[in-house]
Structure 1
């Protein structure tokens, strides 16, 4: 190859333009770093980290291995669970509640509904409080309120709280008030715990 990037015959200086006419590809050559031998096709060896056995591709046992990735929405929900739900559950336990998280409760219809947190006091005849968390970049719409109402209508808890992170829309507030769902607006676990003391727990 000359300075202009063209393929040129090193002997006569002719420009080589057409593949398989003016020139042909010789293929790839490999060289062993240990013995210095040249070869065209390397033999691939596989090594099992469990049994320490070395084998070639023909003797390999191929199995389908599936991988999964979280969607952006699912990743947010997972992060929400670790950051928010755990501190709330711990606070409720310290306040004397029995806590389940996540909680699966059977309604009067026979259907099972999931809540982020369910809590009840031992010293009170199964007074049940359920909580769901909903997050948004700006404000939580009314859909989580509607979804929670459908669940509490069937489960019939004594108290229902919806934690909106960072806040809830005006329509959401109105619907929550209509459905008797306590709304807690907060941006972090400390704010949620502080609000719980003033709303749900004081009325328990």
Structure 2
């Protein structure tokens, strides 16, 4: 993996981005406003490469018309006259007033912004709002007229215009390319997790737990009431009370998994340490009643202190949860 690819994945995880969706802008094709690469083509090349190595999962999302002259995706579509390819054409709408049978072009009905039947003189609604038209006024057809040569036709040409280089082209010369959306795979989160210095990241939390007289166990294993055995990155105890902790590098699935394990272990508290400031995790944590500990937030000490106080207050009989160590490393 190149340094650029690794930097991009770490950037996405740190920002809590789980899905990338393309949009066409005057500057090119952008994904979630990722701007760390000057050339948008470089970003797409990296995303394609990461998909090939299964760090990202791609899916069809959109299509883009690309200028054949300058390779820009910022393209406008226009209607043109099939005779001289002039874009100066107008659409002519044909109307019929059912009660008196009068039919004609919309401009024949229009008087000072209103539609008035030329035959009976009845006001039929606003010329600019079809919602005001009465049920007796029908649109019966349309055509187009070239303002240069007066030619009338039913179907205009569709031509594309590139404002970047000024080229005009049609479907025969345009490039029509697929755009993909990408989702971060578990392989990405595993890579970022293995790259990070976890011990350094959790040191402030470990120090705080020790200061509050909690005992720490790493790589903790416990059997739930269902009979399944669950593993946790960290466990902390004070008296009979147990706090089960997992780490997250921006992956919301870690929180969902922690919720499932917590429900299988009655009486235990649970918390998730998030290293990458994912706002979605904070919101989900409130819904799941699982505190999110993020040392990048000013209130992380208060959050953890509230958990500790709750552990101290719960009666002993509610904390009779069997547990054993998978391994233990003392600091």
Q: Distance in 1 between matches of 2:270 and 2:308?
A: 11
Give a deviation string over 1:92-131, Cα, whole Å, max 9, x none.
2332112111211111112111111111113xxx211111
The corresponding residue for 1:130 is 244
Deviation of residue 81 (structure 1)? 2.6
Distance 1:87 1:157, change over 3 A: farther
Deviation of residue 141 (structure 1)? 4.5
The corresponding residue for 1:178 is 287
TM-score by length of 2: 0.33
Tell me the matched-pair count.
124
* 1:113 correspondence with 2:230: yes
The corresponding residue for 1:103 is 220
The corresponding residue for 1:9 is none
Q: Distance in 2 between matches of 1:196 and 1:102?
A: 23
Native 8 Å contact 2:219 2:234 kept in 1: yes
The corresponding residue for 1:5 is none
Native 8 Å contact 1:105 1:112 kept in 2: yes
The corresponding residue for 1:164 is 274
Q: CA RMSD in A?
A: 2.8
Greater relative CO (CA pairs within 8 A, separation 6+): 2
Native 8 Å contact 2:262 2:268 kept in 1: no
The corresponding residue for 1:153 is 263
Q: Secondary structure at the match of 1:109?
A: coil
* 1:201 correspondence with 2:308: yes
Structure 1: which 5+ residue stretches go unaligned? 1-70
TM-score by length of 1: 0.50
Q: Secondary structure at the match of 2:236?
A: strand
Native 8 Å contact 2:274 2:292 kept in 1: yes
